[in-house]
Structure 1
Amino acid sequence: MKKLSLLMLLSVFVFCGCSNDDDEVKNEVRISFENKLTEEESEFISNSTEVSGAYFKDTFNDPQNYVTFDYYYSTTYGYSFAGFTYTNMTNHPYNCQPNCGSAKSGKVYMGVYSNKYTPAQMTIINPQYSIKGTWITNSKNAYVGMTEGDGYARAFKTGDWYKVTATGYDDNGNKVGETSILLADYKSDTDKPINEWIWFDLTSLHNATKISFMPDSSDFNEYGMNTGAYFCLDNITLIEK
């Protein structure tokens, strides 16, 4: 009888333990624009007429309405964008536009250009989710500038670096934290920038509803950064709170 009671007690303990583990599983969402572009070698282009400085300004949401992305464009010297766009470009005719060669998964990825005048900021509009992370890599523009120089940027050497910083804000615009990732870290003259997709952990910004991405480089002058301010994101991932 004692053995039977002990067995029943252990069974209840094991069952409860498994139940608690199941309760801790949280749903994740990957932001995707895979079905939004019907033509190859294309990108999102807005026709907004709202003016923001030297740019027109617009926003766009992901297809499931989890996130809003800031977007800017100009046609002064031909079309150029800032903030976020989504694209399937593998060989952009203009080197200054986003071009990562291929997406992390599927064909469509996010091109990003960010500076203090046109910051790339995303806003989580589904309150049940927070940011977990994203895959990130260099654009062709920044990579060529760091490895060869391009008339603006100089080729990197020992001690040079290129990074992207993500800063989180709450609904009131208060900063809740920031975290950075290196896309180039030259320990020697023969090092190279990142040329593959790597994971950018953003869990430290889980209390943020707005996240801005800003590049920075050791190559700069009195006017700002010389290295291209373009980089690419894919599979931005949210996690249930």
Structure 2
Amino acid sequence: MQHTLIGACLALCATLGASSAQAATTSTFEELALAPSSHYFPQASTTFTSGAATFSHAYSSDYGSWSQWVYSNETDTTTAGYENQFSVFNSSGAAQSSNFAIAYVSSYEPEPTTITFAAPVQLNSVALTNTTYAALSMQQGDSFAKKFGGISGNDADYFYVSIIGKAFDGSTTGTVDVYLADYRFGDNSQDYILDQWLTVNLSSLGTVSSLQFEMYSSDTGLYGINTPTYFALDNLSVAAAVPEPSTAWLSLAGVGLMAAALRRRKLA
């Protein structure tokens, strides 16, 4: 009996450790089928999943508009404007892959742009870069947004996405800011609009149940940001799943009961 109880305790602890290890995965979007030079755009509000992450797609039938997430393999880096909103400002997805996600963070959408996980996770990293729509708007200016740097090239413009970790109770675990364009340097030759995939470390966010995305720009007006609030995302790497607090508590309680039973047997 004693050996049986010890074995059960060890088995339970091993199961808890194994459940985290088994959840390590990366959202690459490669498992999501797309025709060449196309994108996923359902005319309905829905979700799609890649790896351990779930992405929401919001659609308005009143305006035929969308926000939050789609996935794509389009790589037109020369066509400016809204008609090219699903292209990455690069020749491929991250690490020369085909597919990637595109986010549109709309100020008119009541729900924040988020990524959710079925269970709390710890994250490794994610790859981000610009969409062609946003990059060419900053590079050239358009009817809504200014050319970054201004006429002189000295305007201290910037454009960044803020990645906010959220715990299971909705509290914030941390924030990572990623600059997609930065013209604040004293030496204008250092100014840049990101055109490569940038791998960003997310481990500082700790244990999260979701990620929330907000965008900021130096170019704002009466109705908010003038710069197109789009970015591309790929290779979201999950380090490990973390048991829900209730699950962990019940599991530990089970171990405690086994230990107590073993102790009573020794005293008997």
Name the CA shift for 1:237/1:148 in 2 (closer, same or farther; >3 Å): same
Q: 2:116 aligns with which of 123, 138, 146?
A: 123
Unaligned runs of 5+ in 1: 1-25, 49-56
What residue is the counterpart of 1:16 in the other structure? none
Listed one character per residue, the Cα deviations across residues 107-145 of structure 1 (whole Å, up to 9, x for unaligned) are: 000101113425320011144x32222000011111111
Aligned residues: CA RMSD: 2.4
Structure 1 residue 70 corresponds to structure 2 residue 56: yes
Secondary structure of residue in 1 paired with 2:207? coil
Listed one character per residue, the Cα deviations across residues 175-201 of structure 1 (whole Å, up to 9, x for unaligned) are: 222120111111255523111111122
Structure 1 residue 183 corresponds to structure 2 residue 177: no
Structure 1 residue 152 corresponds to structure 2 residue 144: yes
Would you say the 8 A contact 1:98–1:112 is kept in 2? no
What residue is the counterpart of 2:105 in the other structure? 114
Listed one character per residue, the Cα deviations across residues 46-68 of structure 1 (whole Å, up to 9, x for unaligned) are: 243xxxxxxxx322222x5x121
Distance across 2 between alignment mates of 1:94 and 1:76:
25
Identity %, equivalent residues: 27
Q: One-letter code of the match for 1:37?
A: A
Query: What are the within-5 Å matches in structure 2 for residues 140-219 of structure 1?
Result: 140-157=132-149, 158=154, 159-186=156-183, 187=185, 188-190=187-189, 191-219=191-219
Would you say the 8 A contact 1:133–1:237 is kept in 2? yes
Would you say the 8 A contact 1:138–1:231 is kept in 2? yes
What residue is the counterpart of 1:103 in the other structure? 93
Secondary structure of residue in 1 paired with 2:94? coil
Secondary structure of residue in 2 paired with 1:173? coil
Would you say the 8 A contact 1:84–1:112 is kept in 2? yes
Unaligned runs of 5+ in 2: 1-20, 242-268
Higher Rg of the two aligned structures: 2
What residue is the counterpart of 2:130 in the other structure? 138
Name the CA shift for 1:233/1:38 in 2 (closer, same or farther; >3 Å): closer
Give the TM-score normalised by structure 2.
Answer: 0.69
Greater helix share, 1 or 2? 2
Give the TM-score normalised by structure 1.
Answer: 0.77
Distance across 2 between alignment mates of 1:136 and 1:86:
14
Distance across 1 between alignment mates of 2:188 and 2:141:
14
Q: 2:26 aligns with which of 1, 5, 30?
A: 30
Listed one character per residue, the Cα deviations across residues 77-135 of structure 1 (whole Å, up to 9, x for unaligned) are: 5x5431111111123978321311421132000101113425320011144x3222200
Distance across 2 between alignment mates of 1:36 and 1:179:
28
Secondary structure of residue in 2 paired with 1:107? coil
What residue is the counterpart of 1:61 in the other structure? 49
Would you say the 8 A contact 2:40–2:72 is kept in 1? yes
